[in-house]
Amino acid sequence: MGTRTKAAAFSFEEFYRAFGKSVAADAAGERVVSVEGVETPPKILPAATRRHSHESQSEGGGVAAIAPGASALDAPLPTHLAALAALQEADGSWKFSREFEYVINGVAPAPTDGISSTTWATCVCISIWRQSPACFAQLEASYSKAMLHCDDNVLRRVQSLVDFEALQNIRMYDDEEARAMRERAAKEVAARRALEDAEYQRLTREREEIELICELSVENARRLSIRTQSVFVKGLRSEVRDAFRSSASAASLSSSGFQVGEVVESCWRRLSRTAHACKQNEWHPCTVTAVKVESRSAHVQFANGDLERERNVPFSYLRRRPDDERAAREAASCSHKYTSAILFKERFHAFDGFHDVLVALMRGTTGALERIGAWKKYSASLRSSRKTTCEQHAFVWNGSNFVLTLSRSLDFLASNRELVEWYGDEFPLEMNPFMLSKSLVDRAEDMGLLRLHKNDSDEVAAMPTWWPEAHYDDELLARIARAETFVIREMVAAGVFAPSESR
């Protein structure tokens, strides 16, 4: 909260006037007793001695009947007032503890962000006590002490959130019952988590078994004759598909399911650790840790922010990263050809279709960057002609810098095991949007923008013919070189790369 508003001094007349009462403070607050013609005020008992247990109250929770001639201070408090009075601290405040939460029983919500739990609980009790002006004579001393810990702004907020229609739900604190409820809730959470962990372990184990069987089967099949290989592999595929049909459907990549370990985006997230998950306007990167086909949901762990985990996220709030869909489909199709190839010749041409898609993608990428560069030059010339000193803005697409997003647009290819195996460990698949033999980081290091420790053995002596760059023509390579320089310049302007002090 902001500055704390000091509570005004308590006024008995203002309290009753707020509830439509017209009772004078002197008439309602005092009771004169006549003893042999001498008027003496009664003795005010301490607040603690005026609290009675709920057994002495009526079944309806109201005020029990007062014997004729008895003082109003001797009347037992209603259950909901007595339960709150029993939890009041010595200084007059309340704390939003487990005991308080048990007693309040959902009548008031938990403290909101930025408000002290003590101030919140005190304002809740004051708001509830104000609903019973008839019992104020018994609560006057406790009420006055509680007002010292009250904040007017918090009190107004609490009054709008408390469910005054459910005050009968407030109950006396029972330590044994509360402990039993906590233990029961903890056991339910532990059992649910154990089931989720067991499901995750089962899916992981079955997926590893499938991968191991397929890998061993293909290796053994290659040792047989060509005619026997085709028969053996064909029969083995059908057997594996029938034996692991359920698990294969859970781990397969389809339009409605996701794979464990896959990097996706989710718009279902918590605004804070204490808030409930809800749909957001932005998509956040995350990794799938478990998949539930029956409920069409998945467990994810976010890759930014608090790196928190979220369980049971519906498939409708998950999506694959907006990479080039055609390139992703071609990569999956070529990977299947690569793994199912029996002869090395078939492997050598497995990614030909993927390379054709990459060439088309590079032409579109360079064309977009050329248009962005022309737009920046036009903006700069327009500013110079108008003699304005406004700052040069980046080209924003879908809420983010297009050039910075482009620099990692093809990083998802590093998760394709077959593609990594075919290109080799020397080919960089991170920060390499143009699929060249050197990534943007390597280019920046060559230009003196980074000071990295790099061994001479890391350099590739000759570019392999199966790398994507070998499929680019001279005209496309020239356009890529200009686009690459433009991207690095934009990354320097954004602070991603910084010139070193000395080469």
pLDDT band at 122 (very low <50, low <70, confident <90, very high): very high
pLDDT of amino acid 124: 92
Is it the case that residue 419 has pLDDT exceeding 80? no
Surface-to-core class of residue 226, CB atoms within 10 Å of its CB (0-12 exposed, 13-18 middle, 19+ buried): exposed
DSSP 414-457: GG-HHHHHHH-TTS--SS-TT--SS-HHHHHHHTTS------GG
Is it the case that residue 221 has pLDDT exceeding 70? no
- Name which residue leads in pLDDT, 487 or 53: 487
> For the chain, what are the domain ranges?
12-173, 174-252, 257-321, 328-493
Helix extents (H) in 7-61: 12-18, 25-29
- Name which residue leads in pLDDT, 304 or 32: 304
Distance CA 270, CA 278 (A): 6
pLDDT of amino acid 9: 58
pLDDT of amino acid 250: 40
Angle made by CA atoms 167, 169, 171, in degrees to the nearest 5:
105
Q: Could you give the percent of the chain with pLDDT greater than 70?
A: 63
Is it the case that residue 175 has pLDDT exceeding 60? yes
Mean pLDDT of 130-144: 86
Whole-model pTM: value is 0.35
- Do 413 and 432 contact (CB within 8 A), yes or no? no
Q: Could you give the percent of the chain with pLDDT greater than 90?
A: 2
Is it the case that residue 240 has pLDDT exceeding 60? no
- Do 47 and 141 contact (CB within 8 A), yes or no? yes
Is it the case that residue 130 has pLDDT exceeding 60? yes
* Residue whose structure tokens are 């928190």: 308
Is it the case that residue 1 has pLDDT exceeding 50? no
Distance CA 164, CA 152 (A): 19
pLDDT band at 125 (very low <50, low <70, confident <90, very high): very high
pLDDT of amino acid 448: 75
- 449-499 pLDDT, tens digit each: 764 444 444 454 456 776 888 778 888 888 988 988 888 888 888 777 765
pLDDT band at 253 (very low <50, low <70, confident <90, very high): very low
Distance CA 373, CA 108 (A): 58
Q: 257-321 has which CATH code?
A: 2.30.30.140
- 355-396 pLDDT, tens digit each: 777 888 888 888 888 888 888 888 888 777 776 665 667 787
- Do 264 and 288 contact (CB within 8 A), yes or no? yes
Listed residue (412, 427, 377, 402) closest to 491, CA to CA: 402
